[in-house]
Amino acid sequence: MNSEDSLIQIELNVLQDIATIIADSRGQIVESLEKCLKILKKNLDLENCVIYKLEDDMLNIFASIDFNKHQKIISEYRLGEGATGLAAKSMEPVVIENVHNDILFLNKSGNRSSDTISYIAVPMIVEHETIGVLATNLTKSTKIDFDDTVRILSIISSLFAQSMYSHFVLEDEKEKLKDLKQYYKMEWDSKVHNFGDIIGESKKMKDVYRVIERIAQSDVTILVRGETGTGKELVAAAIHKRSRRAEEPFVKLNCAAITDSLLESELFGHEKGAFTDAKETRKGRFELADKGTLFLDEIGDISASAQVKLLRVLQEREFERVGGSKTIKVNVRLVAATNRNLEQMVKDGEFREDLYYRLNVIPIDLPPLRKRGEDIKLLVNFFLERAVKNHKKMVTITDEAMDKLMGYPWPGNVREMENTIERIVLMGDEKGINAADMLLLLPALKNEKLIEEYKTISMENRTLDELEKEAIAKALKDCSNNQSKAAEMLGITVRQIGYKVKKYGI
Ligand SMILES: Nc1ncnc2c1ncn2[C@@H]1O[C@H](COP(=O)(O)OP(=O)(O)O)[C@@H](O)[C@H]1O
Ligand SMILES: [Mg+2]
């Protein structure tokens, strides 16, 4: 075997050993890389092998052999500085043949023996971006020549780059998951998340569904408006679920539930030591929701200074953590909700107009339950079925009790109904819930004035068609489904009643 063959053999062995170590690194990235550097040193007689990591335009030692603690700290290069910085910037290997007379050789660590002749810095590139630099000294005893060293180091540096990059991506993901887990745990503890379907067949709700279907796939900001308990959060979750972001986090913050001073840190996070209680760096909701959806509930309740800060994120899509200087960019779809009249607040100078326009790109107005009485029965049955299942207890609601439920204006909307049905199932039995029980379970029903008022309102809200349908249904019931008798009672012809029965699907 001539000397050239044996050199190739050495190179192949080195590559094989390095590839094996890297494939086996299992999260111990620094240790593995340093093992590889030792192989380079031993087999090729390279000195001071070192791997720099590029971060925020600075190169710092990530893995090395032959550097002491102090040398590690001082060996720091800006992008473009010296041979190392130049390799990172130009994305080409930089070689200094004679370190003794080249100004590019800065040797900040002072780590150089009298044997050192040359210095080689090879960029580590992944997807057209430099993530670090592999650098080494050649000495008098280095076995392979200059060009060969550059060649083999280029191969090795791309192996290193790949494994370092995968490691960083994995670490990022892990950290993100950890933060999210913490957040979701908190959420689950406070309340069970409801990603369930939205119940309601009224025209007003159908209009809402149409808007949701239309806008879910885009990234436009949505403002959901409606009284408390009308399902604003449910709608926000439904938008997320139907969006391209469905697999990413859905993160929410109730702006009214926290003090103004805490709001900023909840939204943007804080650095360790930013204030007395900030013992650790914590990500805010905007960062947690990166790539996903952020739901800001009760947006009308934030202070003037919080409005300014929120406006900036919406305009620039970037922010700093409290007590931090690093600018963080995020990709977040915003859904905001409020039960307050923002237009009026703008007029009264309580809410910034510019923020209002940023938020109110697409408004979704949720009707109160009393304006969609026809959904009451559906909702009652939906919640009843669910509660019966949860409590493993059979309870029925009699017709007269249902009439009471339908004649009630539900000021607390769907939430009030959900709670009422829960009580019905807890307190009811097989005999069923009757009208008298209802008065106990929903004391507001005793307020006759309230109920009378609602009757008038709900009549006014009904269309002529609805009234006609009801009248015909009632007449048929009274006449035991005899159409000609019913027609006579209503003063219309048999043909007319036949037509209407078909039209309304009675
Ligand atoms: N249309 C609906 N169908 C089924 N459940 C609903 C509907 N609207 C509201 N809810 C339920 O009522 C409760 C209150 O809804 P939520 O979205 O929190 O209202 P809001 O945010 O407007 O106060 C939740 O438990 C929600 O699941
Ligand atoms: Mg709510």
Q: Which atom of ligand 1 is nearest to the CA of 226?
A: 22
Does 188 have pLDDT greater than 60?
A: no
Angle between helices 29-44 and 3-23 (to 10 degrees): 170
Q: Any bridge partners for residue 96, and if so which?
A: 119
Q: What is the pLDDT of residue 1?
A: 46
Give the distance (Å) from ligand 2 centre to CA of residue 470.
34
In one-letter notation, the amino acid at residue 120 is I
Q: What is the pLDDT of residue 461?
A: 64
Q: What is the pLDDT of residue 446?
A: 80
- Per-residue pLDDT, averaged over 276-285, amounts to 85
197, 223, 234, 390: residue to mutate for ligand 1 pocket, most atoms within 8 A of CB: 234
Calpha distance 123→84 (Å, rounded):
8
- Split at pLDDT 50, 70, 90, the class of 192 is very low
| Nearest in space to 144 (alpha carbons), one of 107, 110, 118, 114 | 118
Which one is predicted more confidently, 1 or 81?
Answer: 81
Which one is predicted more confidently, 340 or 457?
Answer: 340
- Per-residue pLDDT, averaged over 156-160, amounts to 95
b/e for 260-298, b at 16 or more Cβ within 10 A? Answer: eeebbbbbbbbbeebeeebeeebbbbbbbbbebbbbbbb
Does 361 have pLDDT greater than 80?
A: yes
Q: Which atom of ligand 1 is nearest to the CA of 205?
A: 1
Does 189 have pLDDT greater than 60?
A: no
Beta carbon of 386 within 6 Å of any ligand 1 atom: no
Q: What is the pLDDT of residue 93?
A: 95
Task: Give the closest residue (by CA) to ligand 1 atom 10.
Answer: 231
Q: For the chain, which residues make up each domain, given as ranges? A: 3-169, 203-367, 370-461, 464-504
Beta carbon of 231 within 6 Å of any ligand 1 atom: yes
pLDDT digits (tens, 9 = 90+) for 281-324: 889 999 999 999 999 999 999 999 999 999 999 999 999 999 99
Q: Note the CATH architecture for domain 464-504.
A: Orthogonal Bundle (1.10)
- Per-residue pLDDT, averaged over 133-145, amounts to 84
Q: What is the pLDDT of residue 483?
A: 92
Give the distance (Å) from ligand 1 centre to CA of residue 386.
14
| DSSP element (H, E) containing 464 | helix 464-478
* Percentage of residues in the chain having pLDDT higher than 70: 94
Which one is predicted more confidently, 428 or 309?
Answer: 309
Give the distance (Å) from ligand 2 centre to CA of residue 236.
10
Q: What is the pLDDT of residue 187?
A: 66
pLDDT digits (tens, 9 = 90+) for 168-185: 998 888 888 888 877 876
pLDDT digits (tens, 9 = 90+) for 144-155: 777 888 999 999
Beta carbon of 204 within 6 Å of any ligand 1 atom: no
pLDDT digits (tens, 9 = 90+) for 67-104: 888 888 888 999 999 999 999 999 999 998 887 777 77
- Split at pLDDT 50, 70, 90, the class of 468 is confident
Longest dimension (CA), the chain: 118
Of the listed ligands, the closest to the CA of 364 is 1
Q: How many CA atoms lie within 13 A of 36 on its CB side?
A: 30
Yes or no: is domain 203-367 CATH 3.40.190.10?
no
206, 233, 254, 372: residue to mutate for ligand 1 pocket, most atoms within 8 A of CB: 233
What is the separation of C-alpha 480 from the centre of its chain, rounded to a whole number of angstroms? 57
Yes or no: is domain 3-169 CATH 3.40.190.10?
no
- Per-residue pLDDT, averaged over 266-278, amounts to 87
Give the distance (Å) from ligand 2 centre to CA of residue 117.
71
The single residue listed with the structure tokens 């969006």 is 243
Pair 497, 483: CB distance under 8 Å: yes
Q: Which atom of ligand 1 is nearest to the CA of 230?
A: 22
Give the distance (Å) from ligand 1 centre to CA of residue 194.
8
Does 248 have pLDDT greater than 50?
A: yes
CATH class for the domain made up of 370-461: mainly alpha
Q: Which residues contact 158 (CB under 8 A, 6 or more apart)?
A: 124, 125
Give the distance (Å) from ligand 1 centre to CA of residue 355.
26
Does 186 have pLDDT greater than 70?
A: no
Which one is predicted more confidently, 178 or 55?
Answer: 55
Calpha distance 461→456 (Å, rounded):
9
In one-letter notation, the amino acid at residue 79 is L
Q: Which atom of ligand 1 is nearest to the CA of 418?
A: 12
Which one is predicted more confidently, 132 or 395?
Answer: 132
pLDDT digits (tens, 9 = 90+) for 370-379: 999 889 999 9
Which of 259-263, 387-391, 413-417, 460-464 holds the top average pLDDT?
A: 413-417
Q: What is the pLDDT of residue 196?
A: 56
Give the distance (Å) from ligand 2 centre to CA of residue 229.
6
Beta carbon of 232 within 6 Å of any ligand 1 atom: yes
Task: Give the closest residue (by CA) to ligand 1 atom 26.
Answer: 231
Pair 118, 99: CB distance under 8 Å: yes
Q: Which atom of ligand 1 is nearest to the CA of 236?
A: 17
In one-letter notation, the amino acid at residue 208 is V
Return the structure tokens found at 104.
Answer: 């590019």
- Split at pLDDT 50, 70, 90, the class of 193 is very low
| DSSP element (H, E) containing 37 | helix 29-44
